[in-house]
Amino acid sequence: MKRFTLVLTIACFYFLALDVAVFSSLVQAQTDTHVHEAPDRSAGELFKDIWTRDKLTGDWWGLRTDLSDHGIDIGLRLTQYGQWVADGGAYRTGRYGGTMDYRVNLNGKKLIGLWEGLSVNMHARTRFGHDVNDSAGAFALQNAGLLMPAPGDYDGTDVTGLIGSQFLPFFRGRLAVITLGKLDVIDTVTMFFPQVGYGQEGFWNVNALVTALPWFGAVRGLSLYGGYAATVNTKYKLAESGFLATGTRNVSTSWGSISDSFEDGVWLAAFHRFFWELDGKMGYVMVFAGGSTREQASNDPLDFVPIPGQGIENTEQKNPWDVAAYLYQVFWQAQGNPNRKATLLIGGTGGPDNPQFAQWHVFAAVEAFGLMTSRPDDRMGVSGYYNGLSGNFKDLVSPLIDLRDTWGIEFYYNFAINKWLHLSADLQLIRNERAADDFAVIPGVRLVIDF
């Protein structure tokens, strides 16, 4: 009954969105008729215009284009998820939830005549409903889109990212970019891997997107004050090399002071990407390394000693760090349309088993974009991953919970109904970290509407 209700709810949202679109366009048509004396259009022509426009709400009677011409670009996206732990995992359940993303980009040159290459970007999110991120296991992370602004059953609106960026000419056709502000971590990840799409276009599972789990021991939040400087390869439109520095206190749902964010230490990282072309198709290897000066409690059971009259005390502090490597290759590309392609992404991360709870992670993902000529905007993919948990961490919690390494497989298909409406089906098979839990089967459906 719960599943039927969930599907019915998503269907109602879908048809409600279409009703709103039709009403909006009818109002626009009436305005055009009375103000501009435009010719009448049939209902069929009106509906066709809705179906073929880039955004559900259109150009806002020309206002959207006018704002963009003057340096203000606005993006509005509603993403809804229905996801079930159909079998296994921590417990069986089904949940419906979603987010509304608000993005504003200000072009300094167009807006107020400042120098070329200056921009300010804001990303805010409203989250509603529930997720199943704890139902398959604590480290399953089966829905990246519902991690922000905060994990768990969080309802509210928060600015998760607010940054200023300056692009500058560099050398040999490259650009340099300097970015400072409140960094949305997932937005920052898309700087390296644009196909990630915030978990709203491709894979849902964080483990299937990037080698994430070991980094959670060092990166202490989903939004962090800080910045990065990088060179940009203009041919491939990707960051080529650079470094990052952030605070170590999460500010995804708050506006703590910058000094407080850096009070406990700083997270530092550097990367470089080596590009090539194989039969005219782009590929690269990227090396990424980072660590934190913030000391964390040791997870080695031998570092926990009894103190008379004080119970058990942890006597050691450690600094987390990680090193990652990625291999990316386009192995198929349609003639005359570079957006239709198939790609391979392989990644691995390793770090110490103390103080981090996850020591290493490997994954491989194959995605196809517009594989069928008749469906050029569809995308699909399959990804598999394995997380090796720290031996120290396993031993530390073994008196309470018998832990094991985790692994999983994810399949998805994103069906582009039109430019502003996408429906995705997803299936995840996960072995979680609890040895007593059965293998989890997690189907899901995602509906994305760009307003």
Domain layout of the chain by residue ranges: 1-52, 53-450
Residues 417 and 56 sit within 8 Å (Cβ to Cβ): no
pLDDT for residue 309: 65
> In this structure, what is the dihedral angle of CA atoms 85, 86, 90, 91, given to the nearest 10 degrees?
100
- For residue 41, is pLDDT > 70? no
The helix (run of H) or strand (run of E) holding residue 233 is: strand 223-233
Q: Which residue has the higher pLDDT, 41 or 286?
A: 286
pLDDT at position 315 over 80: no
| Main-chain phi, psi angles of 404, to 5 degrees | -145, 165
The pLDDT of residue 401 is above 60: yes
pLDDT at 26: 34
Confidence of residue 30 (pLDDT cuts 50, 70, 90): very low
What is the distance between the alpha carbons of residues 219 and 222, in angstroms, rounded to a whole number? 8
Q: What percent helix, strand, coil does the chain show, rounded to 5?
A: 20, 45, 30
Which residue has better confidence, 181 or 51? Answer: 181
The predicted pLDDT at position 15 comes to 35
The band of 51, judged by pLDDT with boundaries at 50, 70 and 90, is confident
Please state the rounded mean pLDDT for residues 199-211.
93
Query: How distant is the alpha carbon of residue 440 from its chain centre?
Result: 23
| Residue 6 pLDDT class (50, 70, 90 cuts) | very low
pLDDT digits (tens, 9 = 90+) for 418-427: 999 999 999 9
Per-residue pLDDT tens over the stretch 64-75: 999 999 999 999
Average confidence score pLDDT of the chain: 87
Cα-flanking dihedrals φ and ψ of residue 6, to 5°?
-65, -50
pLDDT of residue 417: 96
pLDDT tens digits along 140-188: 999 999 988 888 778 889 999 999 999 998 877 789 999 999 999 999 9
CATH 2.40.160.180 for domain 53-450: yes
Distance CA 377, CA 92 (A): 34
pLDDT band at 412 (very low <50, low <70, confident <90, very high): very high
pLDDT band at 3 (very low <50, low <70, confident <90, very high): very low
Phi/psi for 425 (5° steps) reads: -110, 140
This prediction's pTM: 0.85
pLDDT digits (tens, 9 = 90+) for 230-288: 999 989 999 999 999 999 999 999 888 888 889 889 999 999 999 999 999 999 999 99
Least confident of 14-23, 159-168, 442-451: 14-23
Contact of 47 with 41, CB cutoff 8 Å: no
If one compares 26 and 233, the residue with the highest pLDDT of the two is: 233
